[in-house]
Chains A and B, each alone.
Chain A
Amino acid sequence: QSVLTQPPSVSAAPGEKVSITCSGGSSNIGLHLVCWYQHFPGTAPRLLIYQVHKRPSGIPDRFSASKSGTSATLDITGLQTGDEADYYCGAWDDNLRAYLFGTGTKVTVL
């Protein structure tokens, strides 16, 4: 059901920056707040970013996000080996009357 498209994978060396895009449409990202989730296999997913760019307590400012039109972007700066995980965007869709998760992006630290 997901119509939020992410790249399957991104990678960079420690200390560098990666950006993950989330492409949606006018009925989801274009209308609603975007969240980002971090998921380490074998553990519960964690809210990383909410209301487009806000961080819950405990999330370092190396993680930042933005939205433009029907797309959103998550940036991770100062990449660390502990950042290796799967990342998902999420937004409500008015047409589907459903919450959508993005297709997911695996971040690899080289």
Chain B
Amino acid sequence: EVQLVESGGGLVQPGGSVRLSCEASGFAFSDYTMNWVRQSPGKGLEWVALISGFDTSTYYADSVRGRFIISKDAAKNSVYLQMNSLRAEDTALYYCVREDRDARDYWGQGIMVTVSS
């Protein structure tokens, strides 16, 4: 059974940093591209970033490029999102998502990040 479990969220001050982790199980982690997707309160889904399972290339949404870094550790079956220079508009529920041939097919339960003073 595919499982994705996020951790590391919480309350962060504007300008601060936080690192989200996602531990994967139930599939060959290294074979898959992994994504982070977020949903701000009252808003729709917003794709944040991905790291390729093939060559570890990374892609980011314009809204986070230069502030967020996605990475992974295959030995730990984990993907991370380092979030720096946080803003109030980064407040959201962050989902770790597996990608299979263009489809975001398995989603974690999400972890909340609140940016507030």
Chain A residues with a Cβ under 8 A of chain B: 1-2, 32-33, 35, 37, 39, 43-47, 50-51, 56, 86, 88, 90-92, 96-104
* Of A1, A35, A39, A88, the contact of B103 (CB 8 Å cutoff): A35
| Contact residues in B for A104 (Cβ distance below 8 Å) | 44-45
Chain B residues with a Cβ under 8 A of chain A: 35, 37, 44-47, 50, 59-63, 95, 101-110
The complex places the Cα of A45 from the Cα of B97 at a distance, in Å, of: 10
The complex places the Cα of A50 from the Cα of B99 at a distance, in Å, of: 11
| Contact residues in A for B109 (Cβ distance below 8 Å) | 43-44
**How far in angstroms is the closest Cβ of chain A from B32?**
14
By the criterion CB–CB under 8 Å, are B47 and A100 in contact?
yes
The complex places the Cα of A1 from the Cα of B103 at a distance, in Å, of: 19
By the criterion CB–CB under 8 Å, are B44 and A98 in contact?
no
By the criterion CB–CB under 8 Å, are B35 and A99 in contact?
yes
By the criterion CB–CB under 8 Å, are B45 and A37 in contact?
yes
The complex places the Cα of A39 from the Cα of B95 at a distance, in Å, of: 13
